[in-house]
Amino acid sequence: MSMMSTLRLAASVFSLLGDPDEVRLPRSLADEYVDEEPRRQELQDEGPQDPLPPPRPKKDDAQPRPPSEPLLEHPHESIPAFFRSHFSSDAWEENVWKGYLTQPPVLVPLGLAVGAGAVSHWDRPLERRIAGSLGGRAWIGDWTMMSLVGGSVVLGVLFPGEGRSSWDNFMEGAEAFAINAALTSSLKMLVGRTRPGGGNRSFPSGHTSSAFAAASLINDNSGGVLGVSAYGLAALTGYSRMDARRHYPSDVLAGAAIGILSAQVMDYLHWGNGREAHGIAGGLRLEIEPLDRGAMAGFSFDY
């Protein structure tokens, strides 16, 4: 075969094969490809489409709450609820430790306690100077103390402060006075100090501790003039106990420290500081969580 014939045969073969870079499709697929081109162009002109909404949570997806952890449990609705809320380590850490015991307000009872220790060296000369300055009328301290305790209950129940409730105020006061009485009585029996006018169990002053606990509760609930007046009556109670020769100055200062500390610990446990923490009685609040399409609202109760 001549060279010219060979070239002609090769050219015929290449013409039958066509362009090697061109992809040939079956006729049915080619038709579908042509039909999709305008649709794809329309989608590109319209811009990005909204993504599909996320699937809604189903009722079956929620995990049931154990019976030991009831939802929206009130701390004073039952005996089990009382123990679960009042002995919650989270409640004590968040409200009492972080909200009060590590904050400046705790310096007041601590300062009174330090003052009691410092003034104890001059108890006898101070007591002799104060005794009889009000006529030695023991009933003054009795009436001021009882007025403060009764006033704290009446004001807390009939005129609860903002964000507080009558029932929780009543229970908080009962718990504060119980703790105050337990601490005061325990120290009285432990120390066994003789009273200036005779008798025993002088340290600390029970009248003064109860008066200052009540004054602290009144100030926390009502504040303002009522709070200042309550502390004034509590101070008069303590002075009256020295005037009647029932206590030494260190007894009175220690009683004031115990009363304030007892009331403040209970108040912070129940109501928190009103900002970061809300306490076991003030933890009910509305929570709103934004979603892609709307929002989800619900109530939560801490501790």
pLDDT, tens digit only, all 303 positions of the chain? 555 555 565 555 545 545 544 545 454 544 554 555 555 566 555 555 556 666 665 545 555 545 544 445 688 888 998 999 999 999 999 999 999 999 999 999 999 999 999 999 999 999 999 999 999 899 999 999 999 999 999 999 999 998 899 999 999 999 999 999 999 999 999 999 999 988 889 999 999 999 999 999 999 999 999 999 999 999 999 999 999 999 999 999 999 999 999 999 999 999 988 666 678 887 554 444 555 555 554 444 444
Give me the residue label for tokens 């030991």: 68
User: 170: domain range?
Assistant: 87-271
Number of structural domains (the chain) is 1
41 belongs to a structural domain? no
Residue 271: count of CB within 10 angstroms of its CB: 25
Give me the residue label for tokens 């073969």: 13
Q: If you write DSSP's letter for every residue of the chain in order, what string do you get?
A: --HHHHHHHHHHHHHHH--TTSPP--HHHHHHHHHHHHHHHHHHHH-PPPPPPPPPPPGGGSPPPPTTS-TT--TTSSHHHHHHHHT-HHHIIIIIIIIIITSGGGHHHHHHHHHHHHHGGGHHHHHHHHTTTT-S-HHHHHHHHHHHHHHHHHHHHHS--TT--HHHHHHHHHHHHHHHHHHHHHHHHHH-PPPTTS-S--SS-HHHHHHHHHHHHHHHHT-HHHHHHHHHHHHHHHHHHHHTTS--HHHHHHHHHHHHHHHHHHHHHHHTTSSS--TTTS-EEEEEEEETTEEEEEEEE--
19 belongs to a structural domain? no
The whole-model pTM stands at: 0.71
Q: Which residues contact 71 (CB under 8 A, 6 or more apart)?
A: 65, 301
CATH of the domain at 153: 1.20.144
281 belongs to a structural domain? no
234 belongs to a structural domain? yes
CB-based burial label for 183 (10 Å; 0-12, 13-18, 19+): middle
4 belongs to a structural domain? no
39 belongs to a structural domain? no
45 belongs to a structural domain? no
Exposure pattern of 197-235 as b/e (b: 16+ CB <10 Å)?
A: eeeebbbbbbbbbbbbbbbbbbbbbbeeebbebbbebbb
91 belongs to a structural domain? yes
- C-beta of residue 179 within 8 angstroms of C-beta of residue 262: yes
